[in-house]
Homo-oligomer: A and B are copies of this chain.
């Protein structure tokens, strides 16, 4: 059983350890925190915390270090997400002002977040999966090459070049454009994908037999574009900060750099984190072991995007300043939500 004061001791240990990066002993706790009890008493409390596996001693006679479980208790019960300074809020606001487009906004978001936290910043793109197709445009580039542009109501635009098996007249292009438009405009991305898929699989021709090969070629490309809309994407910044804190990651930052390069692992991890009632999520050390990132911690905050909620957060050493990082992620998420809601640039 851990007493009330025991939890306060845990808080002190986490705070001091994060600040100093050195195991913290009973003596330094009574020095730095006004507990009003002696070091021996703190030692007794620490013994209990150690029984509960909330802290460990690296060697028989050295200070204590929080375990992952200790961080978890700290984050869940002990940490207050303290608000940012007004200077920091201003920094966010000016940094995110007047983005030229969605890509620019997302890139700025991660840059400001990495600057605020000193960690690697990650942001999920708003999902276009639940968006609807509003336009399809065909542009003949060459006799056998057609540019296919798709636009969604959530601001997503995709373009790709389709090779055509046959030559098309201007009128043919208009026919195909109209047929494809009636097939998918106003439809959700997933539904549009199904309907395009059906084009290729059914025998029933939707268009003139002469145009059928062209239609199928276009359908292929449109399927790829729709798949891209459904795919989750991530932006990142601050990978270079990892080099400074190498020893924080038990020897090697290799798995982290690997994950940053692969993206897919981080995409999964970000989407599988569970958020609390305030839209904040934390994943600590070994909790990330299934992703091969047992040495790292993640904090994230939901933000509201046209296509549904997505997440923005940071990745760093287990020994990170959770309250500050959560505060930064939350603040950035709020501004981001606001930008996406108010502003028209991204639609």
Number of A residues, CB within 8 Å of B? 38
Asked if residues B261 and A240 are in contact (CB atoms below 8 Å), the reply is yes
A163 to B134 CA separation, bound complex (whole angstroms): 17
- State the Cβ distance, A279 to closest chain B Cβ, in Å: 28
Residues from 239 to 272 in A contacting B, C-beta threshold 8 Å: 239-240, 242-244, 246, 252-254, 257-258, 260-261
Q: Kindly state whether residue A139 has any CB partner on chain B within 8 Å.
A: yes
A100 to B244 CA separation, bound complex (whole angstroms): 38
Q: Give A11-36 as 1s and 0s: 1 = Cβ < 8 Å from B's Cβ atoms.
A: 00000000000000000000000000
Given A161-B157, A253-B243, A257-B240: A134 touches B141 (CB 8 Å cut-off): yes
A206 to B37 CA separation, bound complex (whole angstroms): 84
Q: Which chain B residue shows the least CB distance to A346?
A: B161
Partner-binding segment picked from A66-74, A145-153, A313-321:
A145-153
Q: Kindly state whether residue A324 has any CB partner on chain B within 8 Å.
A: no
Residues of A within 8 A of B (CB): 100-101, 134-135, 137, 139, 141-142, 144-145, 147, 149, 151, 155, 157, 159-161, 163, 224, 237-240, 242-244, 246, 252-254, 257-258, 260-261, 344-345, 347
The 8 sampled A-B contact pairs (Cβ below 8 Å) are A137-B149, A145-B344, A149-B149, A155-B161, A239-B239, A240-B257, A242-B257, A243-B254
